[in-house]
């Protein structure tokens, strides 16, 4: 049994849904659990619905939702024939659930409504895809993942209850493979013990695939993407970027930590724990080898470059030279915890601490204000953080050619450069 995960780009048009259907059909003999994201930019569109609803702009919310409905209804017409009525009814049931809510007034938290509304993107796309597969005579069944993946009620960032989820996978998913070749379900979403929908954080569908793989002891997970493989850098910025056919779990965790948008960072641990390989493959050309990620150490890797733009450097300077003691550092870290902001890079000097953060305007302003009780605070914005793993001098030289380096940190494997552009 294998897990396939298809992202929003692999199902964002009629052609692409058909292509995804073909990939699934050709491999259905191996028993597949298919995890899908919402189509294309549906999640962003649903976020706009939530914002309008929560701002009290009910008409806007309904109007925006109408557009999302239309695009799915159109696709279902083209993708199904014999099963069209069933497929359309299934979509309409989901629509009703959301519209009910949109007619109410918000009385609970933003995050709560976010999850109740945004979760439908994955319900729509998975239902579409499954009905198309059935129409094509694949022996497939649709499963509402909210009956399977249990989380706490930390809306927008639900923590998975592994015990409950493991049990429900054993009882409700495993037996389905006796009857069906393909199970189609949703990434990114789950539900609480009170049947409220939850989400696992943006881009969380990769993580869902890993949860299923871990609990079903799958043979492998394949993430189907619109790239040939995991690359050593963003080819739009670095034309010399190359494909990397093999990476270790550790390497991928490191890359994700430094900001590479390869795979959702939570994905690796559940796979590493059960030694399940993760394959990244191109849905545009499945014959390409892609990337295999597993427990083996990768042979010599090229310099891997990750860039994070929109960074802010904050210097916290002790007002009375007291930085050498532990207390001020501890106070600062408490502040970071309270504001829920963590530095991407930090460096001590005798009387100051330099930290680089993603420039989340509100949090940064609050941090600067709160810290100014204890420290002199200086701020520089519009910086970029360049991380190079497996660096060499030549690569670094090219990267900083027309830039000023304001902070640098090196270990044997990794160099990080904070630069002014
Ligand atoms: N649809 C969700 C998002 O866009 C989850 C995912 O794509 O993995 O964030
Ligand atoms: Mg996505």
**Using one digit for the tens of pLDDT, what is the confidence trace for 164-183?**
999 999 999 999 999 999 99
Average pLDDT over residues 295-320: 94
Which region among 247-251, 346-350, 416-420 has the lowest average model confidence (pLDDT)? 346-350
Average pLDDT, the chain: 96
Give the SS3 label for residue 238. coil
Q: DSSP string of 164-227?
A: HHHHHIIIIITTHHHH-SEEEEESSEEE-TT--EEE-STTTHHHHHHHHHHHHT-SEEEEEESS
Q: Quick check: CB of 10 below 6 Å from ligand 1? A: no
The pLDDT-based confidence of 350 (bands split at 50, 70, 90) is confident
User: Any idea which ligand is nearest the CA of 202?
Assistant: 1
Which region among 51-60, 85-94, 261-270 has the lowest average model confidence (pLDDT)? 261-270
User: Any idea which ligand is nearest the CA of 201?
Assistant: 1
Ligand 1 centroid–CA 38 distance in Å is 6
Q: Are strands 140-142 and 182-186 parallel, antiparallel or unpaired?
A: parallel
What are 65-76's pLDDT values in tens digits? Answer: 999 999 999 999
What are 319-329's pLDDT values in tens digits? Answer: 887 765 678 88
What are 15-56's pLDDT values in tens digits? Answer: 999 999 999 999 999 999 999 999 999 999 999 999 999 999
Q: What is the pLDDT of residue 323?
A: 66
Ligand 2 centroid–CA 225 distance in Å is 10
- Our mutation pick for probing the ligand 1 site, out of 188, 189, 200, 209, counting the most ligand atoms within 8 A of Cβ, is 188
Q: Which domains does the chain have, with CATH numbers?
A: 2-226 (3.40.1160.10), 304-420 (3.30.2130.10)
Q: Considering only CA atoms, which residue is closest to atom 5 of ligand 1?
A: 203
Structure tokens at 115: 């999850």
Q: Where are the alpha helices (DSSP H) in 217-360?
A: 249-257, 268-274, 326-339
């Amino acid at each position: 049994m294998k897990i396939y995960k298809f992202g929003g780009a692999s199902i964002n048009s009629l052609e692409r849904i058909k292509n995804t259907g073909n990939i699934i059909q050709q491999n259905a003999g191996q028993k597949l659990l298919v995890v899908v994201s919402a189509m294309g930019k549906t999640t962003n569109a649903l976020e706009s619905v939530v914002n309008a609803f929560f701002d009290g702009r009910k008409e806007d919310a309904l109007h925006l939702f109408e557009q999302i409905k239309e695009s799915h209804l159109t696709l279902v017409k083209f993708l199904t024939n014999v099963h069209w009525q069933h497929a359309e009814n299934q979509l309409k049931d989901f629509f009703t659930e959301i519209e009910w809510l949109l007619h109410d007034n918000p009385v609970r938290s933003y995050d709560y409504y976010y999850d109740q509304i945004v979760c439908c993107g994955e319900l729509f796309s998975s239902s579409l895809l499954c009905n198309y597969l059935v129409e094509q005579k694949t022996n497939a069944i649709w499963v509402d993942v909210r009956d399977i993946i249990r989380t706490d009620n930390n809306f927008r960032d639900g923590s998975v209850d592994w015990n409950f989820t493991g049990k429900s996978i054993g009882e409700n998913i495993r037996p389905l493979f006796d009857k069906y070749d393909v199970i189609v379900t949703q990434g990114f979403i789950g539900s609480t013990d009170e049947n409220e929908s939850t989400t696992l954080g943006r881009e969380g569908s990769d993580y869902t695939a890993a949860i299923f793989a871990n609990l079903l002891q799958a043979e492998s997970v394949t993430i189907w993407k619109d790239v040939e493989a995991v690359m050593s850098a963003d080819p739009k910025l670095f034309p010399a970027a190359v494909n990397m056919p093999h990476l270790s779990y550790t390497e991928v965790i490191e890359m994700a930590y430094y900001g590479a948008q390869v795979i959702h960072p939570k994905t690796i641990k559940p796979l590493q724990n059960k030694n399940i390989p993760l394959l990244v493959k191109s849905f545009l050309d499945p014959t390409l080898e892609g990337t295999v990620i597993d427990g083996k150490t990768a042979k010599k890797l090229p310099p891997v470059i990750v860039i994070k733009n929109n960074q802010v450097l904050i210097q916290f300077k002790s007002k009375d030279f007291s930085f050498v003691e532990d207390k001020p550092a501890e106070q600062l870290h408490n502040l970071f915890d309270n504001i829920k902001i963590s530095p991407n890079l930090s460096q001590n000097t005798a009387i100051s601490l330099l930290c680089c953060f993603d420039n989340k305007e509100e949090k940064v302003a609050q941090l600067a204000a709160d810290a100014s009780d204890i420290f002199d605070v200086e701020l520089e914005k519009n910086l970029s953080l360049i991380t190079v793993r497996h660096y060499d001098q030549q690569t670094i030289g090219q990267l900083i050619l027309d830039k000023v380096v304001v902070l640098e940190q090196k270990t044997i494997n990794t160099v990080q450069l904070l630069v002014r552009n």
